[in-house]
Amino acid sequence: MPENIKSMENPKPLVIRSKIWIEDDSGKVVFGLGRFKIFEAIQRSGSIQAAAKELKMSYRAVWGRIKATEERIGRQMLIRNVGGASGGGSRLTPFAQMLVEQFQQLHKNILTQSDDLFEKKFRNKI
């Protein structure tokens, strides 16, 4: 038996992966895991610049995604404090905090449910 077939006798376990996001009616992304990570980083750091650095993204890229979400939802996502002697900063609006929390819960539920369905439908079949 060829060596590559022998290795298939004891295959590694398979797992399912799911990715979700919210789109507007024209198919443009409103919110997903990337924006979730951006908002979480802003929440932790209190700054768009610090969040961009943490995520290894440019300030412009982070700002562009925030603005796109604001425009597509029609709601402000950040409360911005302009710099000065004490420096600037940003924090999430209550609406953005709710969006982050609800998306996190939705994402967790979908991962759990997809794992359960995968286990039921594919256990011992592949």
pLDDT tens for 67-78 read 999 999 999 999
Helix (H) or strand (E) segment spanning residue 62: helix 59-73
CA 11 to chain centre: 31
User: pLDDT grade, residue 123 (50/70/90)?
Assistant: confident
Please state the pTM of the whole predicted model: 0.83
Q: Where are the domains of the chain?
A: 20-115
Q: What is the mean pLDDT of residues 74-98?
A: 88
What pLDDT, in 10s, does the model give residues 2-37? 665 555 565 677 888 989 999 999 999 999 999 999
Percentage with pLDDT > 70 across the chain:
87
CATH of segment(s) 20-115: 1.10.10.10
Residues 9/96, Cβ–Cβ less than 8 Å = no
Residues 30/72, Cβ–Cβ less than 8 Å = yes
d(CA 82, CA 69): 21
